[in-house]
Chains A and B, each alone.
Chain A
Amino acid sequence: AQSVTQLGSHVSVSEGALVLLRCNYSSSVPPYLFWYVQYPNQGLQLLLKYTSAATLVKGINGFEAEFKKSETSFHLTKPSAHMSDAAEYFCAVSAYNNNDMRFGAGTRLTVKP
């Protein structure tokens, strides 16, 4: 069964600094990987997804993630943080033939002025 582990429950950066949120996956078959963002009192919104077409995936709001099979990682980055990026971020995984999506515990991103 597939699973993901998010390293760091809280990440704090200054506005304009690099954002790096870590996610490692475990899967017995090639996975599909996703990053979702959750703002307070809202549901989850898709940021980006990896489906094996390209290892570097670009998403909305300037975020991108790189799939590294050798490291079983799918870290989320953004070159310059904005105050509006403050939210909870979730990494998720599903198998190629079954949309049974499993989520990590989440990383809360705080952006300091």
Chain B
Amino acid sequence: EAGVAQSPRYKIIEKRQSVAFWCNPISGHATLYWYQQILGQGPKLLIQFQNNGVVDDSQLPKDRFSAERLKGVDSTLKIQPAKLEDSAVYLCASSLFQDRGDSPLHFGNGTRLTVT
């Protein structure tokens, strides 16, 4: 099966600019996640979708971050305006089930964002 696709792989922007990341999950996976991984740390959940509805966005900095999942498939994550501390790898993951904790996450290769 095709894995989780993310683009771009790398992005360099200046602070206060905007940026968008794209994710296409594994076909048939209802749940989609965006994680932020700062260098030297574990992934931190930003937002979780079930189909096209938001399940959890409690850790999403909503003053600058936004995410959508139209038609319950692809998703985009946007940052506007970017800050230096947003430099990180943004990982997208998908899972077959949302209400089963034993359903593993499948990750894309991530987008490495550098804010200068």
Residues on A lying within 8 angstroms of B by beta carbon are 6, 9, 31-32, 34, 36, 41-46, 49, 51, 90, 94-106
B107 contact from A32, A43, A51, A95, Cβ within 8 A = A43
Name the B residues within 8 Å of A95 (CB-CB): 101
Interface 1/0s, chain B 91-116, versus A by CB < 8 A?
A: 10101011111111111111010000
Contact of A102 among B45, B102, B103 (CB under 8 A): B45
B69 CB to nearest A CB, Å: 16
Alpha-carbon distance A100/B35, docked complex (angstroms): 12
Decide if the interface of chain A is mainly helix, strand, loop or mixed. strand
Which chain B residues lie closer than 8 Å to A97 at the CB level?
99-101
Bound together, the chains give a CA A42 to CA B104 distance in angstroms of 17
Nearest Cβ on chain B to A15's Cβ, whole angstroms: 25
Task: Give bound CA distance, A106 to B37, whole Å.
Answer: 11
Residues A99 and B4 in contact, CB atoms below 8 Å apart: no
Tell me whether A43 and B102 are in contact (CB under 8 A).
no
Asked whether A103 lies within 8 Å of B42 as measured between CB atoms, the reply is yes
The answer to whether the Cβ of B43 comes within 8 Å of any Cβ in the partner chain is yes
Q: Is B31 an interface residue (CB 8 A)?
A: yes
Chain B residue numbers with a CB within 8 Å of A101 are 33, 45, 105
* Interchain residue pairs with CB less than 8 A apart (19): A36-B107, A41-B112, A42-B110, A43-B93, A43-B109, A45-B107, A46-B104, A90-B42, A94-B101, A96-B101, A96-B102, A99-B100, A99-B105, A100-B45, A100-B48, A103-B43, A104-B42, A106-B40, A106-B41
